[in-house]
A and B are shown apart, each in its own frame.
Chain A
Amino acid sequence: MANANNHATAIQQYAIRLADDALILGHRLSEWCSRGPFLEEDLALTNVALDFIGRARMFYGYAAELAGKEFTEDDLAYRRDTREFTNALIFELPRGDFAFTMARQFLIDVFNLAFLTQLQTSTDPQLAAIAGKAVKESRYHLRRSQEWMQRLGLGTAESHERLQNAINELWGYTDELFESDALDAELCAAGIAVDLGKLKVAWEPQVREALSAASIQIPVDNWQASGGRQGKHTEWLGHLLCELQFLQRAYPGLEW
């Protein structure tokens, strides 16, 4: 627990960052509820949404615990504005069509599986415990999203085109997932955080191989968007939070 004491504030920020990623993606997936292309996919999308929201609750809950009840997990989810959210941009992009949603999911599932596998060995016991639960879910998520890459990429001309468009649009947002800042560096040195630089080495070949098997090209142009970790977001996050936070903004402190 020496690590936790020395780095309590940093761990708190780190947990909030991971929770923000999970909450925002969970919300995007939940938007598919009753709009899935067919019933089974509707169920799958919303079940995956639930896994991410559950993950967000565990990370927010831990951050709140470290802060000594100064705030609650609900305060973190419902009472912060866009500039205070530190999720990477890829999570907040609008859900797009089904191909876009599944392409993002695939890119993130590959990332999450590698990330959580590493986080399981964190010297912070609670982060390691959360990762130990979540990693099993990500393994299952990836199985499904990778199957969809095949189905869409090798399906009809239209499904292939839609998946290719999605990858073209998403590719420039993937680099941010591997960006390290001072917080990562501090916690990495203490064996608490995941070394993101090392992850990319495993992520990229795996993604390239799966997409190439689905006959999808990786875009060659080189733009990269970034800023989410510093609270600089796309305009889409504000719209998302309007919906996500509406009840607590309109009726502060409202409970079931």
Chain B
Amino acid sequence: MHRLMDWHSDILSIRPPIGLRPRPAGSTPELLPELSTEIRAILETVKDPEIPVLSIAELGILRDVEVQDDMITVTITPTYSGCPAMTVVEEDIQTSLADAGFSNITIKRQLSPAWTTDWMSPFAREKLLAYGIAPPCRTAEAGKTPSCPNCGSAEVREISAFGSTACKALFQCQHCAEPFDYFKPY
């Protein structure tokens, strides 16, 4: 068995504690890194269906991958309880791994620790911003208002507590008048 989540640590600035299990004796570690690179590249292509600029790894939905013999177990966590995108995410994981020739795939849903936007890396936040969505601030500063992703002005107002999806709120810039989505700190 081999853990693949270590590659994650460079893009995730904060990780919840994931207990690393020791590699069992008898496994062939020299072959696994190659396999892990391949699986990692495949899972990197699975994007969030609502925010296609971010992969499920960058969003923190992807929690863990285990490979044991020919079996791959992918652990994911839902963002919001009722997020309708989760089923699509599961299907996309299945399809992308199946397309690459893997057949023995199990997807586990894990609730705890509860998903938080604090798992989003600085890199992912920059991608969101470039996409036109104001990235979440740290949950510790949840009252803070975002800056306009269009002109950078801090003079913004909340139009709606909920936007096009549960994870976003709708804001408008008072300076350039542009309405924009804010990814809520959560």
Mark A residues whose CB is within 8 Å of B: 26, 40-41, 43-44, 47-48, 50-55, 57-58, 125-126, 128-130, 132-134, 136-137, 140, 143-144
Number of A-B contacts (CB under 8 A): 66
Please report the C-alpha to C-alpha distance between residue A123 and residue B170 in the assembled complex, in whole angstroms: 38
Interface size class of B (residues with CB under 8 A): 20 to 34
Within the complex, which residue of A52, A125, A129, A143 is in contact with B82, where a contact is CB–CB below 8 Å? A52
Note all chain A residues with C-beta closer than 8 A to B164: 43
On whether the beta carbons of A133 and B81 are closer than 8 Å, the reply is yes
Determine the main DSSP class of A at the interface with B. helix
Q: Give the interface SS of chain B, mostly helix, strand, loop or mixed.
A: loop
A133 touches B170 (CB 8 A): no
Interface membership of chain B positions 71-87, coded 1 if the CB is closer than 8 angstroms to chain A and 0 otherwise:
00000001011111000
Given contacts A43-B164, A136-B114, A140-B184, 13 further A-B contacts (CB under 8 A): A43-B163, A44-B161, A44-B162, A47-B165, A51-B81, A51-B166, A54-B78, A55-B81, A125-B112, A129-B111, A133-B111, A133-B114, A137-B80
Contact B170 A54 (CB under 8 A): no
Q: Which residues in B have some Cβ–Cβ distance to A below 8 Å?
A: 78, 80-84, 111-115, 159-166, 170, 184, 186
Q: Which of A44, A125, A126, A134 has the most CB of B within 10 A?
A: A44
A53→B82 contact, CB < 8 A: yes
Contact A133 B82 (CB under 8 A): no
Query: With a CB–CB cut-off of 8 A, which chain A residues contact B82?
Result: 26, 50-55, 57
| B160 and A132 form a contact (CB under 8 A) | no
Partner of A50, one of B111, B159, B163, B166: B166
Residues of chain B with a CB closer than 8 A to A58's CB:
81, 111
